[in-house]
Amino acid sequence: MSTGIADSNDIRLLVKLLKSAVVIVIIQIIFLNYVTTTKSFQMTSMYDDTSGGTSLSVDSWSSSVKSNDQGNDGKPVNIRENNNDSSISLVEMALDLLGKAGVELDDKAKEEVTSSLGKSNYFELYGREPIVLGKESCQVYRDNVPAAERFAAPMGMFNTGTNLMYKYLQGNCAIKAKQKKYGEYSKGIRLQPSWGKHSPSVLRGKNKASMGGLAPYEHFFPVVILKDPFTFMSSLCRHWYQADWIRFGFRKNMRCPNLTPNNEEELSKNLRRPTVSVNVKFKDYVVKYTSMVDLWNTWYDDYVLKVDFPRMIVRFEDFLFHTEEIVTQVCDCIGGEMNSTFSYEADSSKPIPGASNLLTSVLKYANTDNRFKEFSEQDKEYAMKNLRPDLMEMFHYQSKSQ
C-alpha cells in the first residue's frame, strides 16, 4: 500500500515538475527574443548597401522639405484642408481629430483640451503641414520589388509610434496583388522589417527579427518615424525597453531625462564622467551612446542621411494630427490601396501600463509647455547645444524663439 502511495506521489510530483519546466522554457523563449548575448560594436563605416537606392545629402533632403507640397509625379499632395487651414486653431484641430476617432468627450474633457492646448505654440514650432521625406524613393522601390512581394514596415527609436503605424496601415491599406496571390489577410504590412524596427541599419540583411518574417530584406519598405528629441527623451524615461543608463534619485524623486550630472553627488555616481552614457541592446550587440542626445543624433543620422535604400521619413507629430494623410502617402508609396472609409485608433497601441491613448497623446504632445517640463536647465542647455542642428532644422524641431 505504501508503495502505491509513493508511486502516486511521485507521479504527481513529476507532473508538477514537467509543468514547471514547460513554463520555464516558455519564459526563456520570450526572454531570449529580447535579451541576447552582449557584444559591443562601432557604428562608423558599417552601413550596408545592397539595394541600389539613391543616397541623399542634407541639401537634397532640405530641398525635399521645401517642395513638400508636391508628390512623386510633381502634382500637389492631397493635404486635408481642415488640418492645414491657418484659420483653424489647435484646439479645433484636436477636437476634430478626436471626434473622427469616435472619442466621446464630456464637458470636463473638452475644457481640459481647451485649457491645455489653447496657448500652445505648436504651429510655430512644428508648422501646419506635414514633413514627409523619401517620397522620391517610392518609385525606385516599386520598380525593384514586384507588387505581390512588397511589405511596408514601421521603424523608429523606442516610443515613436511604430506599433500605431502598423495598426493604421494594417487596418486601412492593402496591396491587392499580394492578396490575390497569398490571400486576403496578406496585405503587405508587417510589424517590423526583417532586421528589426529599432535596429540600426548595419543589421539590415544580417539580423532576423521576430514578426519580421522570412522575406528578403530588400522587399521591405521602411517607414521611419522620428519624434521631437525632447519629447522622445522624456518618453524614454517612462518606457526604456532595451536602453539602460545610470539614474539619479529614486522613484518619485528620480530625475529623468538626466543627460549630465547636475551636482557633486550625481557626478560621483557617474564616475566623474561629464555625460550620462546610454547602452542600447540591438539583438547580439550593445551600442554605447554618450547620452540620450547622442542616441537620437546617431540613430536618425543613420536612417535620414547615411543609408541609400528606399525608405520614407515621417514625423511623429504629423502622424498624430495628420494621420489619414500620412497613412495614405505610405500606402500609395508601396502601390497599395486605401479602404473606402478610414479607420482611426483611439485606444493605446501598446499592451503595457501607462501607454498613451489618442486623447492622452494629444494632451501630452500638442501642449508645447510639456516639451522641456522634465528637463533641468543644465540638461536643456546641453541638449540644445549638442542636438544635430541639421536634423533639428530639417524637421522643424527648433523654433525661432530658441
Backbone angles phi and psi of 93, in degrees to 5: -65, -40
246, 200: one domain: yes
CA distance 178 to 151: 10
Indicate the number of domains in the chain.
2
Considering the domain boundaries, does residue 327 fall inside one?
yes
Residue 358, SS3?
A: helix
- Can you give the pLDDT at residue 347? 80
CA distance 190 to 173: 12
Paired with 255 in beta bridges are 248
- Can you give the pLDDT at residue 284? 79
Considering the domain boundaries, does residue 400 fall inside one?
no
Burial class (CB in 10 A: 0-12, 13-18, 19+), 225: buried
Considering the domain boundaries, does residue 51 fall inside one?
no
Cβ neighbours around 45 below 10 Å, total: 6
227, 294: one domain: yes
Considering the domain boundaries, does residue 45 fall inside one?
no
81, 186: one domain: yes
145, 186: one domain: yes
- Can you give the pLDDT at residue 36? 36
Paired with 314 in beta bridges are 132, 225
26, 62: one domain: no
14, 83: one domain: no
User: Is the previous residue joined to 257 through a cis bond, with omega within 30 degrees of 0?
Assistant: yes
280, 388: one domain: yes
**Max CA-CA distance within the chain?**
89
Considering the domain boundaries, does residue 48 fall inside one?
no
Burial class (CB in 10 A: 0-12, 13-18, 19+), 8: exposed
- Can you give the pLDDT at residue 271? 95
Which of 246, 278, 251 lies closest to 261 in space, CA to CA? 246
Contact 283, 247 (CB under 8 A): no
Considering the domain boundaries, does residue 141 fall inside one?
yes
Alpha helices in 35-71 (DSSP H): 58-66
Considering the domain boundaries, does residue 205 fall inside one?
yes
101, 7: one domain: no
23, 89: one domain: no
CA distance 82 to 95: 12
355, 304: one domain: yes
- pLDDT tens by residue, the chain, 402 residues: 444 444 455 555 455 555 555 555 454 444 434 333 333 433 332 223 333 333 444 444 444 444 444 444 433 333 334 456 677 899 999 999 999 999 999 999 999 999 999 999 999 999 999 999 999 999 999 999 999 999 999 999 999 999 999 999 999 999 999 999 999 999 999 999 999 999 999 999 887 776 666 789 999 999 999 999 999 999 999 888 889 999 988 767 789 999 999 999 999 999 999 999 999 998 778 999 999 999 999 999 999 999 999 999 999 999 999 999 999 999 999 999 999 999 998 886 555 445 578 999 999 999 999 999 999 999 999 999 999 999 999 999 985 545
- Can you give the pLDDT at residue 4? 44
The three cell numbers locating residue 194? 526583417
User: Which residues make Cβ contacts (< 8 Å) with residue 116, sequence separation at least 6?
Assistant: 363, 366, 367
Considering the domain boundaries, does residue 43 fall inside one?
no
24, 156: one domain: no
- Can you give the pLDDT at residue 145? 97
Range of the domain at 228: 58-394
Backbone angles phi and psi of 285, in degrees to 5: -125, 155
- Can you give the pLDDT at residue 20? 57
11, 66: one domain: no
CA distance 402 to 386: 14
98-115 burial, b at 16+ Cβ within 10 Å, e below that, comes to beebebeeeeeeeeebee
Cβ neighbours around 149 below 10 Å, total: 16
Alpha helices in 221-357 (DSSP H): 229-238, 264-269, 292-301, 316-321, 323-333
